Structure 1
Amino acid sequence: MQPVEHLHLEHVLQTVSVLESVVLRSFGPEGGQVLFTRDTGQAMLSRSGRCILSALQLEHPVARMVVQCVLKHSNVTGDGSKTFIIVLASLLRMIHTMACKEPKLSHTYKSRRIAEAATARQLADELLAFAFERLEHLIAVGVVPYACNLSWENLSAKTQLPANSPCVQRLLASFYHSRLSRIHCDFFSDLTCNLLSHWKFKHRQVSASLHFLNNNFPALHTTVSGFPVSYSRLVVGQVIHRDFATPCHFSENQPVRAVCFSGYLQPKILNSGEVLALGRGQQGEEGSVVEFKARAERLLDCVIANLQRLGVSVLLFALKQSPVVHSLAQQAGMCVVECVSEDELSLFAQLSGTQPVPDCQLIEPHHVATLTFCRPIQLGPHRYVHVDFHDCGQNVEAKPCSLVVCGPAEAQADQSARALQDAIRMLLLTWEPTEPTPTALERTWLSNANTPLHADSQRGSLSTLEPGCVIPAGGTFEVLLNQVLLQHGTSRGLPAISKLLADALLSVARQLYSHSPRCFLQIQARLLSSIQTYSHTFSPLRKQEKDDCIPGDGEQRMYCRGEDDIVFISNLGLESVCCKYQLLLAVLQCVSSLLQVDAVLHTHTDLQTLPRRLANISWEEPENEAED
């Protein structure tokens, strides 16, 4: 195989189109699930774009690069994997079409390739510069007036809310509808709301709860396979994913005291610089070993006695302990839990208000945590340690609980757990809009790009949006931004750049309603009618008032912010405005990065001869490609 593969625009487009054909099978309200089978016979059924793309066995480096960009974006926003690929493929098609239409000075194959690549890179850089400079302002002007604020009240799933209320349940149901089975969307929406209500901190903002759940999610959930999804539930306290190393016998009504250790329960025996000599058959050296062991046991007895004095009966360790520690702890009536993960020890410390002990000879009363109970819990085939904290409200101002996610198979349980974590990330970004900034490399590209942007253009700022800005799903965001982009391009003299991005957005809406083009035309006509009626002015985003939502017969009615015009959108749910904006920026950065690549170096060849081979490479096109 040749060490260098020349990469052209059509090669990138073909690769992304293949990925698009994969995700389109599960995209939109009528999308199905994709079945993957491994060589081992294990099968995976999923609608999640992240799971589908991660399961692909990709050999082409461009495909792997695109999937890595998608996964990084999904790690931040928790959503948008399939939309990312669709917008990326649409942009590359239009860039390729425009690049091929550019007049060429030469008719040779090589010169045409070079000219097309230069035009494509210029378009990509102009798009990225346009997005960083003006996209925020256009969203604030053309989309935000039609949005509403998310309501965090009445998180309980048992609360009856109006069908058109912009609440968290509606947003979560729309989110899960694109990732999980349709029959489980409402169930997981209610389960997530119950989780948020338990971890709702007193006297703190909603973002504090979302940050806590996002940072501690690995320690807060347990996946159990072999049970129906409906068996998923919340359990009080914390589940530590280890079993007792020694037997435990605690009274149900008696508080339990516990201490967690970050190392071994082994006192320091040797002083600094002291060396223990070992030998064969030498009485002096043999005596030193015996003396060492005796001194270690005496100090360990002192540590156990100190723990008994403090009333400690549970020892949590990050590392595996010696049999001597197990024996002494069992004799003292203490139970041992070892090999506890760092995430679980950190969560235990936050909930109990204590810290792991670094030196077992320096145990103080403030290191001791008081537990309401400590007992085994059976979850599926595994037995874990279940603890609850006494007076935990003084430490975290919440009602601690852990999440148990069940599924018929291990893969399904893992997918549901990842969907729950992604939902928390999506809610966090929705509640705390951030303004992305270009990296150093992107700033260099933007400064070198030949863009006709005006230096005095006014930029909006999504960071000034009220928290929880959401908009009806089903293509509303894409249609609204499509229109404002076309109007802006005409008025500012940027028709090509604005039309590129506008058409790419509209392709997402078309794919959503590919099963029913008539429905797409009806929704688009209503939105366009509202925009044309009130195109002269847009009132700013205001808080939802009591009269803004008129209950209908199962219809979800959202108010446009023009002159109190009402747009009726049925069964579309809600989606985050900030997540949509982040997705567009991520796609445009990916396009710019892809079109900067000239060739692929296959470094799996002999690395010793690769530098010499690269020095002799001819960058001319092969003779058989000299003409079309």
Structure 2
Amino acid sequence: MAQLGGQGQGQPIIIMPEGSSRVLGRDAQRMNIMAGKVLAETVRTTLGPRGMDKMLVDGLGDIVVTNDGVTILKEMDIEHPAAKMLVEVAKTQEDEVGDGTTTAVIIAGELLKKAEDLLDQEIHPTTLVMGYRKAAAKSQELLNQIAIDASDRETLCMVAMTAMTGKGTEKARGPLAELVVDAVLQVEEDGEVDTDHINIQRIQGATVHDSQIVNGVVIDKSRATNAMPKNLENAKIALLKYPIEVKDLETDAKIKLTDPAQMQAFLDQEEQMVKDMVDKVVESGANVIFCQKGIDDLAQHLLAREGIMALKRVRKSDMERMAKATGARLVTNINELSPEDLGHAGHVYEKKIFDEILTFVEECDDPKAVSVILRGSTRHVAEEVERAVEDAIGVVSATVEDGQVVAGGGAPEVAIAKGLRDYADTISGREQLAIAAFAEALEIVPKTLAENAGIDQIDALVDMRAAQEQSFYMGLDVFQRDVVDMKEAHVIEPKRVKKQAIQSAAEAAEMILRIDDMIASSGSGEPDMGDMGGMPGGMPPMM
């Protein structure tokens, strides 16, 4: 039984149920910091163009091979509560920008590592947190100073290629970058990019070079019946949320028939209702129907006889993209379907690629939704290509929206670290040490890039610091194994990637450092914090 407080008249005061566990003070901090460091160390080797991949095998034996930070952390079955908080950092980074997940986690891990040294020097966690908070705010100021205003097509292609470097798309990153930029610019509206309007269809069985963009929408569904036309020009498209079938009774009501003729009349009535629905579609002039619900067998037959192509049970997301691409309106009541609700596409056809049947809606007038067909020789290759392209779409979208980029190759981190050290000299008190520690923590990014490329960390960092006396754009080129101008090397990243990574890493580290008491109830599903696995400092099982 877990106890809090002392004895009262010789009896223990029981507050928490039996099996609960509690870790206090410095032990709790040490344990949480250890969890963050281990998690950061796990993904650290994947950073940069020379980063390695991880193979993850789940309980069912399914394999994922990737060097995408957020994918690795999602696939790992992480139990430790503090480690879960760092996984949230990666997920937030993915949702906000689409890239930089590994960077965010390793910065957070390094902030915790530096904090451990300061805690050992008897610096209070609150002082440490305040220093980190000031450093994070100053970092954003410094980042704004070194950012470059640029959002032209050439810059967007550089950003896309930088995001895909070191992933499964390495050999085809040039054509894929062009494809990603085309897709993002096509769906951009008033300076905003909704990446949900870019649909990615991943198909194995060919090389990455065979990937293509479709100026319209591709749906992984076939016609409702093979009797329907397979290829239509000048398509008039109806989007129905309404089923073309007789709805089942929603209650437990029963219909009592006393005469066989009544049964026939009932069936005739149902048939007539279906025919009326089909007549309504025909009257509207539609020759292609995408229905979110079901289509009755009789309706399929009647539609095919009228030369109408219909697809049933189409996903809601595909329906919304279709509306954006063709200009059609989603109709919730078939009786209200009119010619004004129809969209237009020059060509709608069904095509089999590898072992998948797809329906293509092409030749739309200025579609604000597009599809990208990605190919890969195997399923695992195609999946990794998809992850790389999703990252590229995220960073290109961020660049289009913000119009600001920074150099890559660890250059921004070194520049910000230098600025933070100068800033620390102006701060009195122990917070100065926390700001200096924050600066050192940021330099984990160039150090890791060098380490993963087999370059001496210290030499690379010293060279970068010296080179940055002349220019903020001097970063580490891991291919030339030298410090070069990243703008000339075409290694460019959106400012938002760095902004979000630094901010979320700092906030996660602050939250973890403020914890001085961990209480786990017996039924919480969390690890038993009473058993630290024999590791110094206390480390519960990670997985």
Shorter-chain TM range is: 0.7 to 0.9
The equivalent residue for 2:20 is: 3
| 1:580 equivalenced with 2:521 (yes/no) | no
**Amino acid of the residue matched to residue 363 of structure 1?**
L
The equivalent residue for 2:424 is: 489
**Amino acid of the residue matched to residue 350 of structure 1?**
K
Question: Which of 472, 479, 485 does residue 407 from structure 2 map onto?
Answer: 472
The equivalent residue for 2:148 is: 148
The equivalent residue for 1:237 is: 216
SS at structure 2 position matched to 1:316: strand
Q: Is the 8 A contact 1:262 1:356 kept in 2?
A: yes
Question: Which of 44, 53, 56 does residue 36 from structure 1 map onto?
Answer: 56
1:394-431 deviation per Cα after TM superposition (whole angstroms, max 9, x unaligned): xx4x6x64210112332332332233223222233334
The 5-angstrom pairing of residues 246-265 of structure 1 reads 246-247=225-226, 250=229, 254-265=233-244
The 5-angstrom pairing of residues 323-402 of structure 1 reads 323-389=297-363, 392-393=365-366, 396=367, 401-402=370-371
Question: Which of 234, 255, 258 does residue 282 from structure 1 map onto?
Answer: 258
Distance 1:149 1:299, change over 3 A: same
Distance 1:38 1:184, change over 3 A: farther
SS at structure 2 position matched to 1:477: helix
Question: Which of 111, 127, 141 does residue 137 from structure 1 map onto?
Answer: 141
Query: TM-score, length-normalised on structure 1?
Result: 0.71
**Amino acid of the residue matched to residue 255 of structure 2?**
L
Question: Which of 468, 477, 480 does residue 527 from structure 1 map onto?
Answer: 468
Q: Is the 8 A contact 1:241 1:385 kept in 2?
A: yes
| 1:82 equivalenced with 2:93 (yes/no) | no
1:54-99 deviation per Cα after TM superposition (whole angstroms, max 9, x unaligned): 2222232322232122112221111222212221121112211111
SS at structure 1 position matched to 2:426: helix
**Amino acid of the residue matched to residue 382 of structure 1?**
E
Distance 1:569 1:503, change over 3 A: same
Distance 1:484 1:76, change over 3 A: same
Query: TM-score, length-normalised on structure 2?
Result: 0.81
Greater per-residue strand proportion = 2
Question: Which of 430, 441, 448 does residue 511 from structure 1 map onto?
Answer: 448
Distance 2:34 2:525 in 1: 29
Distance 2:324 2:384 in 1: 27
1:14-49 deviation per Cα after TM superposition (whole angstroms, max 9, x unaligned): 212222222122223432222233454443322211
Unaligned runs of 5+ in 2: 1-17, 473-479, 531-536, 538-543
The equivalent residue for 1:312 is: 286
1:314-368 deviation per Cα after TM superposition (whole angstroms, max 9, x unaligned): 2221012222222322333323210100011111112222212211122211122
1:543-575 deviation per Cα after TM superposition (whole angstroms, max 9, x unaligned): xxxxxxxxxxx99999xxxxxxxx687747112
Q: Is the 8 A contact 2:159 2:392 kept in 1?
A: no
Distance 1:27 1:362, change over 3 A: closer
Q: Which runs of 4+ in 1 moved over 6 A?
A: 267-270, 273-276, 554-558
Q: Which moved more, 1:18-27 or 1:289-298?
A: 289-298
**Amino acid of the residue matched to residue 476 of structure 1?**
A
Per-residue deviation, 1:254: 4.3
Distance 1:602 1:215 in 2: 40
The equivalent residue for 1:175 is: 163
Q: Is the 8 A contact 2:97 2:395 kept in 1?
A: yes
The equivalent residue for 1:195 is: 183
The 5-angstrom pairing of residues 584-595 of structure 1 reads 584-595=502-513
Distance 1:226 1:125, change over 3 A: farther
SS at structure 2 position matched to 1:582: helix
**Amino acid of the residue matched to residue 411 of structure 1?**
H
Question: Which of 115, 125, 134 does residue 120 from structure 1 map onto?
Answer: 125
Distance 2:465 2:237 in 1: 62
Distance 2:255 2:167 in 1: 62
Q: Is the 8 A contact 1:247 1:335 kept in 2?
A: no
SS at structure 1 position matched to 2:375: strand
The equivalent residue for 1:604 is: 523
Q: Is the 8 A contact 2:184 2:393 kept in 1?
A: no
Distance 1:200 1:174 in 2: 22
Q: Is the 8 A contact 1:266 1:360 kept in 2?
A: no
Distance 1:519 1:589, change over 3 A: closer
SS at structure 2 position matched to 1:418: helix
1:464-493 deviation per Cα after TM superposition (whole angstroms, max 9, x unaligned): xxx2x2222112111111111111121243
Q: Is the 8 A contact 1:221 1:402 kept in 2?
A: yes
1:495-525 deviation per Cα after TM superposition (whole angstroms, max 9, x unaligned): 2232121111122222222332334322221
Distance 1:592 1:329, change over 3 A: same
**Amino acid of the residue matched to residue 414 of structure 1?**
E
The equivalent residue for 2:197 is: 216
Per-residue deviation, 1:529: 5.0
Distance 1:36 1:137, change over 3 A: closer
Aligned-pair identity (%) = 16
Distance 2:141 2:287 in 1: 60
The equivalent residue for 1:68 is: 88
Q: Is the 8 A contact 1:225 1:406 kept in 2?
A: yes
Distance 1:470 1:382, change over 3 A: same
Q: Is the 8 A contact 1:48 1:180 kept in 2?
A: no
**Amino acid of the residue matched to residue 594 of structure 1?**
I
Q: Is the 8 A contact 1:376 1:386 kept in 2?
A: yes
Distance 1:263 1:125, change over 3 A: farther
Unaligned runs of 5+ in 1: 103-115, 156-166, 434-466, 532-553, 559-566, 608-617, 619-624
SS at structure 2 position matched to 1:432: helix
Per-residue deviation, 1:277: 4.8
